[in-house]
Structure 1
């Protein structure tokens, strides 16, 4: 199989930073807020009401255009996108992204599964397409755009989990060459955990949820993601296991010990997961960067946004091994990937 490289990453964070005080002014007494899984970051970003996922991708791709030229982007063969909250419930943003960027790719795929591990899912899919077809370049884009629209609703913003998410977009450029090779990608599905994350309607504004009304049906409530305390405990147990499990599997396949990894980048649900994953890999804090305190939980965009921040800061050395890992939703999907770093700055 020909080698495929992750030759560049870029990102976009919308608007100005939103402090936690925005949420504390609305918070009600709720013992869930004391749960370590729901401790808020210092700041996060929120998309504007009229800012679409396509807008976010276009702004995230702008640095790639500056570094590689418009023609390189317009000649992309494969376009993969993942959007946390699709602007149009019928179709994803792929075709509109292609139009905005002047692209006519042979492959346009909107990935709705994968959750927080979607960036790794797209790396694996893009790599497979480039290795098995005549396509030579791919653009992958992960947009998290639900923090502003969903978690600032008048009733939802009172909940403990409302202050945790942030919005942002991260993109990656893949090329069929050996400049910055993708060493391995592993993804696994755990269908036994499907359905454990609930999308509900808060009918009363008192923290009780209507789980019978469909989200598209009219009614007085506001939609949000709901976890009971017992389910949070289950997700915590799964997440603690799945991310190191997939990360160790990739290390074994590429023939390195986890302690020999140069940089470990994961999704960033909360500080507790970040600490536990780092300790499970036997790595010091400086080798496990994250953007949680400045951006919150960015879901699928967390990995590429953090990679871009570290790369722009000069903390990712060319030739180093960068290991990425994440789990999705309540644990129904997880993935890991390793790259010999060499992305542009």
Structure 2
């Protein structure tokens, strides 16, 4: 079997993404081939700041020694000063994501790995942007589910980047059913779990306390779970979120579906932030992102932890191989 071909987009050029890519290039890979969609000068500057060797190779070349990196040039408009994000480079960041993803859609690459993006800077650059998950879903024209994972737990989200006051209205029967179908399918096909067991959290404290603390569990969540159980899915819930993540309970589940971003992700990040990755389920190709921000205050100093990027590449390569053999 040929090695999976992965496209890597570092993200915000003034953040830690470029230097993490330079660190990644120091170890030749045996599980995939990588091509970085970024500004070559920024990658070189990041490597120089860390005192690391870097040899930029043209698209189609092969990385053979430590420091080799294949780069599809995506030039920045403004000079990059690490630690100081410039809205003038927002378009280059978005273009790199679009181009890398398009190469996955057309089959040139087998998976996409993405670094941290600075949402405020992109919006300040005049581009309406809520998150890369949403951007990739629009480009591919499909429904997706955000799931974060580490060695302890997998947490998928029924809603993603929304103000808290908008969450209840965003949780509908149709939307919840789509989310659970995508999650269930990904557990079977991408992770090789024949009969996945999924814990579904309630929205309200104590999962609504039989309607005394909210009716979303009774009116929306429970009917969907009942209907999908009739079709063979193994779904527990709606469960109170404050006890669902106890280690003894997590051992019974392959994934947890949280109703909103900050219901499930703080637990996941506390249980293993450095090894966590962000997956977009439902795309025609595997997409895995780091589970941290741009860390502008650390950029160019050589102290950023590359563990999440290493884990993202390993996970994406594994998913791409699974998709190839499915």
Q: Which category of TM-score, normalised to the shorter sequence, fits these structures?
A: 0.3 to 0.5
Higher strand share: 1
Q: TM-score, normalised by structure 1?
A: 0.31
Q: TM-score, normalised by structure 2?
A: 0.32
Structure with higher Rg: it is 2
Greater relative contact order (Cα 8 A, min sep 6): structure 1 or 2? 1
